[in-house]
Structure 1
Amino acid sequence: MIIKPLRKAVFPVAGLGTRFLPATKAMPKEMLTVVDKPLIQYAVEEALAAGIEQVIFVTGRGKSALEDHFDVSYELEATMKARGKSMALIDGIRQKPGSPVYVRQQEPLGLGHAVWCAREIVGDEPFAVLLPDELMVGGFMKQMVAAYDRLGGNVIGALEVPDSETDKYGIISPGKQDGRVTEVTALVEKPARGTAPSNLMIPGRYILQPEVMTILDGQKPGAGGEIQLTDAMAQLIGRQPFHGFTFDGQRYDCGDKGGYIEANLALALARDDIGPRVRAFAQTLLG
């Protein structure tokens, strides 16, 4: 089996972010900051650290701030240089010419449709999908790429959750297990409580073969009246190698207000510059 190298990553960022209104009325939800860095930057850095060469954003109306963030800011950079300030933070998000690439999802038809919008740029190559709402600490995509380089086919993220929460997520039906690698025999979207085939949920990280685009091309709407990526992936099972990879690290669901606050607190406490102050404040606040 020939395993093609993974060079491209798709970031679906066209969502309206209604759960964070009014903050997201005029600002993309992906630009919400955890401490001092936007959510989208954490996801892009995770991809680049895994060896991704081309970043593909599937955007929508009102996302110009996201595009500006990864562009050159001449005025800002000139001012910082004139004042002798470090350029490290700015240089860290600068992208090579031609990357990133921006594609529009013109209608909110679901995650599967958003991924399909990137088909012309993905071409006939394998590609990663990262959902910026899911903030992963610990290099999840790098771990997944290492598994993909060994296994080929499709590799999706897997994360153990309590049995009481399996009805909230897409769940993996497991086959053979080898350490943190689990063979995927089926995918079940939000199974009724007590009926889940495992407690392995899919936390918004995927490495997929380009054939999924052909499936999405004719995919009919599924749950919620949207074109579901899970439904298309399920059709690849049995036709191509398909595995789940269990994450060794920490996940924060920043699509949820509580998870977003948790991420800010956890990452602030982990920093040398502000951690002691935040810890002292939290201890005072909690009595």
Structure 2
Amino acid sequence: MRTVTKAIIPVAGLGTRVLPASKAIPKEMLPVGDKPVIQRVVEEAVAAGITQIILVTRSGKEAIENHFDAHYELEAQLQIKGKIAELASVRNIQPPEVEIISVRQPSAQGLGHAVLCAAGIIGDEPFAVMLPDVLINNPDTASGHVDMAGMMAAFSRAEHPQIMVEPVPPEHAERYGIVDCAGASLSGGEAHPIQGMVEKPARGTAPSNLAIVGRYILPARIMTLLKTTPTGAGGEIQLTDAMAALLKETPMEAYHMQGKSYDCGNKLGYLQANMVYGLQNPHTGADLREFLKQQLAE
């Protein structure tokens, strides 16, 4: 069985849902707790065994690349001042065994187009796609990351493409891409064949309450399909349309995540993520919990 070692992270978006915070700072660099969102997504990928990360970027996003580069002056000052913990935190952002590559998306033409921009690096290998504004939180596990690794294990069993899903309230299904699993009931950590996908179904028409959460494992074949995928919703090349074409050729599975997702691409999801990660941080959790109790009591 083929091992997934490459992940595409599309970071070329404008971040309009979190303006004005993202006017001059890439939305992926906004902090959740003590780390930028993009660092948490990269850590998730590395924990799952990814060794090559392809950032699909654009002009104005150089701060993301700089974050994963060495900062010798900062490191030297931390060394001189004996701030060993802080020094380790900046030196270990990119593990030595992990390669981070950047490619440009020349114009905003959708998620499908962003993925296609990395085709030359992917070659004929299967790969992961990880959206940078979605965090997957697994607080009850040692590493905090089990779902990406679990989905990769599901792929390795039969090399069926995987789409990570999470149950949402039925009345909210119209906000998401929804998978059709023919009425099957899934538990966390399980994968099940899907019959189709519906993007933002009309209220009351969703085939399930299993929403796509921004994690995929796909074969290289999807790149060929993307080359001929016509523009879809919003006049953009949609990855969902290419996956629908792929489903006609090969079985695909929905992987039911065990944790919970936080959409940091919108203001409420971003605030929720900061609360959750802040409460889980051993350095801030107790004081933040006490602060929130005081606020709720007022």
Identify whether the pair has TM-score above 0.5, normalized to the shorter chain. Answer: yes
Match of 1:228 in 2: 238
8 Å contact 1:72–1:94 — kept in the other structure?
no
Normalised to the residue count of structure 2, the TM-score between the two structures is: 0.92
Match of 1:28 in 2: 26
1:109 aligned partner, one-letter code: Q
Deviation at 1:178, TM superposition (A): 6.8
Tell me the percent identity.
49
Q: Secondary structure of 1:188's match?
A: strand
CA distance in structure 1 between the aligned counterparts of 2:101 and 2:260, rounded to whole angstroms = 29
Deviation at 1:68, TM superposition (A): 0.2
Runs of 5+ in structure 1 lacking a partner? none
1:150 to 142, 157, 160: 157
CA distance in structure 1 between the aligned counterparts of 2:18 and 2:205, rounded to whole angstroms = 32
Runs of 5+ in structure 2 lacking a partner? 139-144
In structure 2, relative to structure 1, the CA distance for the partners of 1:245 and 1:97 (3 Å cut) is closer
Deviation at 1:91, TM superposition (A): 2.6
In structure 2, relative to structure 1, the CA distance for the partners of 1:63 and 1:95 (3 Å cut) is farther
Match of 2:46 in 1: 48
C-alpha distance after superposition, 1:209-251 (max 9, x if no partner) = 0000001011111011111000000111142231010000121
8 Å contact 1:71–1:95 — kept in the other structure?
no
8 Å contact 1:8–1:56 — kept in the other structure?
yes
Match of 2:74 in 1: 76
- Match status 1:279 vs 2:298: no
C-alpha distance after superposition, 1:195-219 (max 9, x if no partner) = 1111111000000000000010111
Q: Secondary structure of 1:100's match?
A: strand
CA distance in structure 1 between the aligned counterparts of 2:149 and 2:31, rounded to whole angstroms = 23
In structure 2, relative to structure 1, the CA distance for the partners of 1:279 and 1:6 (3 Å cut) is same
Match of 1:166 in 2: 173
Match of 1:107 in 2: 107
8 Å contact 2:7–2:52 — kept in the other structure?
yes
CA distance in structure 2 between the aligned counterparts of 1:177 and 1:7, rounded to whole angstroms = 30
Deviation at 1:133, TM superposition (A): 0.8
1:91 aligned partner, one-letter code: R
Deviation at 1:177, TM superposition (A): 6.3
C-alpha distance after superposition, 1:116-166 (max 9, x if no partner) = 000000110000000011111122211211211223120110111111011
CA distance in structure 1 between the aligned counterparts of 2:181 and 2:154, rounded to whole angstroms = 17
> Counterparts in 2 of 1:65-214, with a 5 A limit?
65-86=63-84, 87-96=87-96, 99-138=99-138, 139=145, 140-175=147-182, 180-214=190-224
Deviation at 1:4, TM superposition (A): 1.3
CA distance in structure 2 between the aligned counterparts of 1:91 and 1:146, rounded to whole angstroms = 30
Deviation at 1:23, TM superposition (A): 1.5
CA distance in structure 1 between the aligned counterparts of 2:286 and 2:48, rounded to whole angstroms = 31
C-alpha distance after superposition, 1:35-75 (max 9, x if no partner) = 11000011000000000010000001100100000001111
- Match status 1:217 vs 2:217: no
Match of 1:57 in 2: 55
Structure 1 stretches of 4+ with a deviation exceeding 2 A read: 94-98, 175-179
CA distance in structure 2 between the aligned counterparts of 1:218 and 1:236, rounded to whole angstroms = 12
Q: Secondary structure of 2:292's match?
A: helix
C-alpha distance after superposition, 1:6-37 (max 9, x if no partner) = 01000000001112222111110000000110
Normalised to the residue count of structure 1, the TM-score between the two structures is: 0.96
Match of 2:266 in 1: 256
How large is the Cα RMSD of the aligned pairs?
1.4
Deviation at 1:85, TM superposition (A): 1.6
Deviation at 1:95, TM superposition (A): 4.5
8 Å contact 1:212–1:232 — kept in the other structure?
yes
CA distance in structure 1 between the aligned counterparts of 2:290 and 2:177, rounded to whole angstroms = 39
More off after superposition, 139-148 vs 222-231: 139-148
8 Å contact 1:152–1:241 — kept in the other structure?
no
8 Å contact 1:159–1:246 — kept in the other structure?
yes
8 Å contact 2:126–2:218 — kept in the other structure?
yes
C-alpha distance after superposition, 1:151-194 (max 9, x if no partner) = 31201101111110111111101146675212111111111011
Q: Secondary structure of 2:163's match?
A: strand
